[in-house]
Amino acid sequence: MRITSILGSLVIVSVAALGLSACSSPAEPDGKNVIAPVSMEANDLQGKTVDLVVGQVLNINTGDLKTDSYSGTVADTKIATFSPGSEKEGLVLNPGVEAVAVGETAVTLTNDNGGIQPLEFTVKVSPRS
């Protein structure tokens, strides 16, 4: 009887532990927590400094303009990289900037549509805690 009671208790503790682990933060394959992207409107970026942590992405909402009409340059690609937007088979991906290493770098976005002033802003990358 005592063994059955102990086994029953172990099963309950195991199920409770498994349930709690399912409630934890999502993890990347390397076991670290996933960092939510920062989303900003393209028109709000001019002259701003965007704070990111290593591994975080700035998601740039292009509003009424096509996502693939923007191109970007990053002054120091060791700190951040630009990913162009795309539209393919109903899937729309916004352009973005990914924080790669600690530091600060200038970013310039231009648009293929004539008459749109280049967007110039700074990305400041902090270490991931």
86: containing domain: 32-126
Q: Which residues pair with 70 in a beta bridge?
A: 111
**79-83, 98-102, 110-114: range with lowest mean pLDDT:** 110-114
Phi, psi of 48, deg, nearest 5: -85, 165
- CA 102, 103, 106: angle at the middle one, nearest 5? 135
Please name the residues in contact with 114: beta carbons below 8 A apart, sequence gap of 6 or more.
none
- The enclosing domain of 65 has a CATH number of 2.60.40.2020
Whether residue 52 contacts residue 40, with contact meaning beta carbons closer than 8 Å, is answered with no
* Residue 121 domain-assigned (yes or no): yes
* Residue 8 domain-assigned (yes or no): no
CA distance 121 to 25: 31
37-83 pLDDT per residue, tens: 999 999 999 999 999 999 999 999 999 888 999 999 999 999 999 99
Given this model, what pLDDT does residue 14 score?
42
* Residue 7 domain-assigned (yes or no): no
* Residue 9 domain-assigned (yes or no): no
The domain total for the chain is: 1
Q: What is the DSSP string of 49-107?
A: EEEEETT-EEEEE-TTS-GGGEEEEES-TTTEEEE--EEETTEEE--EEEE-SSEEEEE
| Model pTM score | 0.73
Confidence of residue 5 (pLDDT cuts 50, 70, 90): very low
* Residue 62 domain-assigned (yes or no): yes
* Residue 20 domain-assigned (yes or no): no
Q: Which residues pair with 110 in a beta bridge?
A: 71
